[in-house]
Chain A
Amino acid sequence: MDPARLRSSWVLAALGLTFVATVVGVMVGAVTIRPDRVLLELIDHVPGVDVDSGLSASRQAIVWDIRFPRVVLGLMVGGMLAASGAAYQGVFRNPLADPYLLGIAAGAGLGATLSIVWGAGDGVGYFDPIPVLAFAGATAAVGLTLLVGGAVSGRGTPSTLLLAGVAVAAFFTALQTYVQSREVERLREVYSWILGRLSGANWDDVQLLAPYLLVSVGVIIWSRRALDVLAVGEDEARTLGIDPERVRWIVILAASLAAASAVAVSGLIGFVGIIVPHFVRLLVGPSNRVLIPLSFVLGGAFLVLADLVARTIQSPAELPIGVVTAFFGAPFFLLVLRTRDAGAGV
């Protein structure tokens, strides 16, 4: 009998799916590009490798400058949201926990709304302030939640933290709604940001997000075994030699950083942080050491496929990706829940 561990067959399956999602994501669009050409074109960009994909210069640009960065950003954002959700669920021992739990969505929403109504979102110059203000709003909201929830003084319990998150989210949402209602002519833009999008993604976004991904997801993955110990509760974890407050702090900070930075570049894409970890949990069991890395990989694949639907179903118009993740994710999730070991807890 083997203990729970990351089986190579699962990793290969998850990476395989991600690979397929990537290739299909680059292939499909207003012009369809053959998968072999997509691959060759991508290989051509590996440093030191020179192959001819047979694509014209404009199609090369479609692959490399438009579609591929968008797919890569989708992989990153989806992975970060899913890993963040899995981490929150582990640290709060609550299956309903999601990456927006501690006020990140409301804070980011306020930041983005301010940035849009101040007119800075028109893309003056090359500098786009929306991600910066969204990130600032998200971290301000989480910071306030942690402060109010007593985590800073060390007296907070997970439930006071959750309640503080609810209150802070309500407060920031109220501010955001107020600002938005005074500037109704910008409503469309605000609304489109809130529902999330990967459109217009470029390599700068990828570069901007990469360090945040490395740090946050790195810490979450590194802490995944401590989260397994925390599953027996704080007191028992302590008698097993784990300092529960320390683990909680580290994981909350890392998961919040992941969610805040992902949201900053992509808007409020909902549902990924809940559905992907639960889906993985139903397939491979509840052990965080398996769940967290697989959620990260599959979260990315899921978001790339959702984005594919978002940009093709009503082409040339784009659906907000958050609508797609919920519309396709929810029924699929319910189906899995029904056919698998339902009611077995999460």
Chain B
Amino acid sequence: MELFHNLAIGFEVALSIQNIFYCLMGCLLGTLIGVLPGIGPVATIAMLLPVTFTLNPTSALIMLAGIYYGAQYGGSTTAILVNIPGESSSVVTCLDGYQMARQGRAGPALGIAAIGSFFAGCVATVIIALFAPPLAEVALKFGPAEYFSLMVLGLIAATVLAHGSLIKAIAMVILGLLLGLVGTDVNSGVARYSFGVSELSDGIGFVSVAMGVFGFAEIIANLERKEDREIFTKKVSNLLPSLQDFKDTWGSILRGTALGSFLGILPGGGALLASFAAYTLEKKVSKNSANFGKGAIQGVAAPESANNAGAQTSFIPLLTLGIPSNPVMALMIGAMMIQGIAPGPQVMTERPQLFWGMIASMWVGNLMLVVLNLPLIGMWIKLLMVPYRILYPAILVFCCIGVYSISNSPFDVMQTAAFGVVGYIFVKLECEPAPLILGFILGPLMEENLRRAMLLSRGDPLVFFQRPISLTMLLIAGLLLAVVVAPTVRKKREEAFVEA
């Protein structure tokens, strides 16, 4: 079997001592930032991007991936014990998880969240291993027109799923695309929008944008908020859920995993969407839907399985098509580019070690998380007690050293601080920054593919509608937009995000 052969390569890579160490680092770090409210995986990966310069590509990606799915684990802990989502994807876990904690069942809630996540992680790993190769084969046949349409679809899907206003989200995508174009044009050698500043002729640093808009802006926004937390720490005992709990939840875990895996693959999807959808589905399907919001264990199991599954399957478009489906994946693309790897379908054939090693490491990482985190929950709770005002200077130090070391000049630090101001303005004007970062990373790629497609078609824009795959993708994009603009859905969508 080809699959087993490939997985064997993967495990060989993932189980080397070095990679196990980086996987562990990633998982621990991910759980840490998942537990701490106010700092998410996007900011953390942005911070760690410069750190990965010196690692080998496989270890770097294994660690970064660990941060993402580790954060899904950690997020649930905070949600259940403190009623604050440590991660945006565990918002719905708060609803029932916190109620369970108040009823003195924090232990089983944490336990079922961890077990559900582990199960979902395992399934998602297999799904990636099964579906990525055929998808990559399809992607190898893509021409520039297909790639352009695919990017349009990805960006549209990302805006549809963004919080708040649709026009603003699209505008943010375009602003991101434009910012991505700053720097030397590959074809003509003209330095665009660099204003004679030599540092800008290489383009705006990806790390600067991501860290400024997500990292700094997040810190500042958090400082403006007041801290008030109530933690149920004493009552965490008996983590193992009872047999009855298992009977109640195995269906929810299965449904959550299936839904999460599916939604993760879609462009624009990922952990956040998956957990919301799973909770809604569970509420509809469950016999005791009246119990939801009052401490139903299904309401913890389903979204927690779904967000972990979604987090992992969102690697599929990244690994096979080279298209990021959410900001975290955009950062992963950034990490690959830093390492000199062009993301796309050729990664799998040219670097099987990297591809399969990363997939295998996800399973290893999930196992580590379950083994480590259940006993470590006490330690994470202690960390929750550290006030934010003590944490953030440390986070800043880390950010600053990272940014400075990109090119060893104060210019990058300055640039990042400027994007911090911009990010703050975005927050205040209710402009979601996630689409911006997707646009930023896709800007140059999109221009390149548009140019090639138009060159091949001799300037005929109809080429995007004449090639079947391209047409399908544009149609889906159009459909998505139409659906969202339709009045009934619009109302529902606003309600859904208000609840969040």
Q: Do A and B bind each other?
A: no
